[in-house]
Structure formats: C-alpha cells, structure tokens
C-alpha cells in the first residue's frame, strides 16, 4: 500500500490528529508555504503526492482546472477534500474519510465536498467512465 500523505491547508492545520499515526501529515508551515499564493501551495502538495484538505474555496477551481491536467498525458493528483464552512470541521473530515478508500487514492483523483451538515458530494476528475459509476445521490446535492 502506498504511503498515506496528507496536506492540511493553513485553516485546517489543527485536524492532523484525525489521521492514523502512520500517516504523513504536512501543513503549510512544514512545507514552507505559509502565506504563499494558493497556486503555489497546491503545487507543493501535489509535488509531494498528498491528499489535500482545505476550507479555501479558491483551491477547488485551481485543483479542478490545474494546467497539468491539460494535454494528451494529463496528470492526475491524489484527491482534494473541501470542507464547507462549519464549526464542526473534525466531524466533516471524519465523514469524508469514512468513504475514502486509501488504496484508490493513487488510482483515482476525486474532489470531495463536505457540507456543514455532513452531506458529501463527489466529483471524479480522472476518468469519465469511473465518474459515471458514482450513484447519483453521491454526486448531486438534494
């Protein structure tokens, strides 16, 4: 099994204790990107092959439309979990991780949005045929 690597954005750095002990948890400070532009932060996390956890809405569009996805040999990443505004971020993250299969992180690139109520929405960014396999109730809000 691949190493579990997680990058926690600056606003989420207190969520590191949710992950198993053997998980490599990086923060903006540990990667030296504190206060940097969102694009630089994401690029550094991608370079380190990390699952990204953020509450920053700007991360979502840049991640989804990353320049390295273009072209015939588009590159896929390792998942982004976007936590919508809530006072219960730990609960939101736990809900997202319950449905995450770590063995799939290296094969698929998913964008998971978690609402304040805990409802999750998935978007598969790597393979269209894989995206079609998600049940409709998992890909669309009620």
pLDDT 10s digits, 46-100: 888 888 999 999 899 888 888 776 655 666 678 899 999 888 999 999 888 876 7
pLDDT 10s digits, 93-137: 988 887 676 655 556 678 889 998 888 888 877 766 666 666 665
Domain count, the chain: 1
Question: What residue numbers bound the domain in which 125 lies?
Answer: 5-139
Cα dihedral 54→59→64→65 (10° resolution)? -160
Global confidence as pTM:
0.83
CA distance linking residue 1 with residue 58, whole number of Å: 31
């Amino acid at each position: 099994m691949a190493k579990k690597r997680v990058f926690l954005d600056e606003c989420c750095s207190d969520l590191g204790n949710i992950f198993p002990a053997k998980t490599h948890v990086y923060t903006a400070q540990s990667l030296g990107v504190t206060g940097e532009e969102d694009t630089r932060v994401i690029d550094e996390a991608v370079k380190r092959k990390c699952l990204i956890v953020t509450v920053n809405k700007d991360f979502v569009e840049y991640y989804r439309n990353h320049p390295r996805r273009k072209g015939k040999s588009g590159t896929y990443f390792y998942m982004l979990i976007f936590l919508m505004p809530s006072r219960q971020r730990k609960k939101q993250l736990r809900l997202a991780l319950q449905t995450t299969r770590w063995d799939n992180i290296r094969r698929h690139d998913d964008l998971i949005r978690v609402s304040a109520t805990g409802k999750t929405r998935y978007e598969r960014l790597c393979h269209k045929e894989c995206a079609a396999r998600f049940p409709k109730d998992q890909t669309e809000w009620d």
